[in-house]
Structure 1
Amino acid sequence: MTHPKTPLPFTLSPEMIEGDSADWRQLREGVVLRTLFEDTDSGYSVGLIRYQPAACVPLHRHIGDEHIYVLSGSQQDERGIYATGSYIYNPEGSQHSVSSQDGCLVLVHWHKPVQFIGD
């Protein structure tokens, strides 16, 4: 969902979290994204990412800051395991790979898109 320069107020409802499968796009096998806000000029975006059990996102570098809030389940990277309720900050220039043993749903804010390494 791309918003105009002056966006309207926005609320994330439980229905949007569940959402129709048409509202989600596949990022990787077992990993889907629902974009909630996107500013194409700056690269800033907000979205929900759902990981199926054992799904992963390969090594990538953050071109801008990333903020993640784990809504359900857990995800992990090279620094640890993050359970429901965890907040994760990945600063510009950091890199990691992400996986979820049991599946999870996260809310993510990206200041710029990520760059996959070796992709």
Structure 2
Amino acid sequence: MLEQGLIRDFIGGAWRDLPFAPFHPGVTRHILYGEPEGAAAALLRYEAGARVPRHEHTGFEHILVLDGAQCDENGHYPAGTFAINAPGTVHQVWSDEGCVALLIWERPVRILI
């Protein structure tokens, strides 16, 4: 399915066949590409009720919710929502019902706890 940086039928759900690994309690991820301190892209899969700790964005982050819905202090974002978090944005992310989101970021976040 992944051939030289290409995933066919990604929006149609081909991401479901990718391997996910533990990230935070109740959240798994599949890294598409990236550097530890630089630009990267990943799929995050939240179980119902899962959260990612409060964090600050140190660079731009683009999010496309592919399935379910994601939430933060500013709202509820169902499948099909595209969001941009600018550098300096601070929030906590969760999913009441579970979700999968594509994240593409310029620089990693800083966990604030």
Q: TM-score, normalised by structure 2?
A: 0.86
How far 1:16 sits from its partner (Å)? Answer: 5.5
The superposition leaves residues 9-39 of structure 1 with CA deviations (integer Å, 9 ceiling, x where unpaired) of 521245861236xx32211111011000114
% same residue = 33
| Whole-Å separation in 2 of the counterparts to 1:95 and 1:27 | 19
Task: List alignment gaps of at least 5 residues for structure 1.
Answer: 1-7
| Residue aligning to 2:22 | 26
Structure with greater proportional strand content: 2
Secondary structure of 2:6 counterpart? coil
Give the Cα–Cα distance (whole angstroms) in 2 for the partners of residues 52 and 76 of structure 1: 13
Secondary structure, counterpart of 1:88 in structure 2:
strand
Q: Which one-letter code corresponds to 1:46 in the other structure?
A: A
1: CA distance, partners of 2:59 / 2:21 = 22
1:108 aligned partner: 103
Which consecutive aligned stretches of 4+ in structure 1 deviate over 3 angstroms post-superposition? 13-16
What is residue 60 of structure 2 aligned with on the other side?
Answer: 65
